[in-house]
Structure 1
Amino acid sequence: MARKLFLQINMTVDGYVEDANGDIDWHFADAEFDSFILDTLRSIDGMVFGRVAFEKLAAYWPTAEASAGSETQRETARLMNELPKYVLSQTLTGSDWHNSHVLSRDVPAEIERLKARPGKDLALFAGAAAATSLVRLGVVDELRLIVDPLLQGGGTRLFDGKGEPTRLELTATRPFASGAVVLTYVPRRQ
């Protein structure tokens, strides 16, 4: 059985994944959410990112383990650094972030090749443009939208409002004490 690619991303109630300055400091984080993220990382064999998000994360994670405040955060940092990372980019040629790989040619085919390998699922964690593109291309098998209880009022929307409608089926919900909720959808393939 082929593994799947799922999108997991934080967003506000009004659909933004970052504010007007490109910041994500509005994301909630608590021990319950930290455990959820660690469980997600333990369940995958690789992560996919858009280039801009990848570069932001590559500037943070390599040193995050040393400054982590809890064992859960240390383990999260260790997995972020050890797991294979696949970055979608036409301009990036490499990265110093351990176990990083650039996908630049025929991205849908490269994603399908990754999905066809044996192992655990793959997570698409960041990049509104990458998420929009891969969902439109039909290579995302599940969407896990972490909706934070916030009306941002501006910034970068997860989906840009262009393209054909995609019907989704709600398969799971998970509320957090913070008021955030994970909504899990699968695209209805026609």
Structure 2
Amino acid sequence: MGKIILTSNVTLDGVVQDPDGAEGFERGGWFHQFVGAGDLQAWTARETQEALDAELLLLGGRTNEWFADRMTERNLAEGRVSPEWANRVRSMPKYVVSSTLDDPRWSNVAVLSGDAVKEVTELKRTVDGEILIYASYQLSRTLIAHNLLDELRLVVFPVVVGTGLRLFDETSDHKPLRLIDTRKLGDDLLYYAYEFVQR
């Protein structure tokens, strides 16, 4: 059985919205603004290893668009994306949960267009290994509500933005977790990993 893992960058006050500033959120762009080169190097190394360890990616429709735009040959050539990480993400199997997606825009993508809970449950049953979710917060909230998410990995950035979309804005019940790992990345980033405690 697969293990579904949500991995996310987050501000100190829990905001996940618009880390690179591309969405036009007035307080977006915090990913690059408040950390040094050593922090980003450590972040990239962890992100790359995480992708190498996973069997596949599970994405929501908007997150799929975001990654398809960034994991291009041009961005690789211009050094905007780590080559090892990007090449792994581009080559690994990807499943996108979307009822409207016609053109995934990159390779190795299967679209799950039916009932998300049923299709992800079946995917989890048939995969042996880690199923990694990048962002995809609407999908992640649905999986959390149906006790399908197994692990949460957060990289906390040293900034408070005060407002914006938070990962747990819409939880409907208590969701106990157990801390399984914590470490410092570079000088200013903190990494936390939690297991969801199934009740």
On whether the aligned pair clears a TM of 0.5, the verdict is: yes
CA distance in 2, matches of 1:97, 1:39: 22
* Offset, 1:80: 1.4
Alignment partner for residue 126 of structure 1, among 126, 129, 135?
135
CA shift digits 1:107-147 (9 cap, x unpaired) = 22222222223443110111222221211121111111111
> What residue number does 1:153 align with?
162
1:176 aligns with 2:185: yes
> What residue number does 1:31 align with?
41
Equivalent runs, 1:1-190 vs 2, <5 Å? 2-19=1-18, 21-22=24-25, 25-28=29-32, 30-63=40-73, 64-68=75-79, 73-190=82-199
CA distance in 2, matches of 1:7, 1:173: 16
Letter in 1 for 2:54: I
| Cα pair distance change 1:103/1:163, threshold 3 Å | same
Q: List alignment gaps of at least 5 residues for structure 1.
A: none
CA distance in 2, matches of 1:49, 1:178: 30
More displaced 10-residue stretch of structure 1: 87-96 or 35-44: 87-96
| 8 Å Cα contact 1:115-1:121 kept in structure 2 | no
Number of aligned residue pairs: give it. 187
RMSD over aligned Cα atoms: 2.0
| 8 Å Cα contact 2:141-2:171 kept in structure 1 | no
Indicate the percent of aligned positions where both proteins have the same amino acid.
27
Runs of 4+ with deviation above 6 angstroms? none
TM-score by length of 1: 0.89
| 8 Å Cα contact 1:21-1:155 kept in structure 2 | no
CA distance in 1, matches of 2:45, 2:186: 13
CA distance in 1, matches of 2:155, 2:95: 22
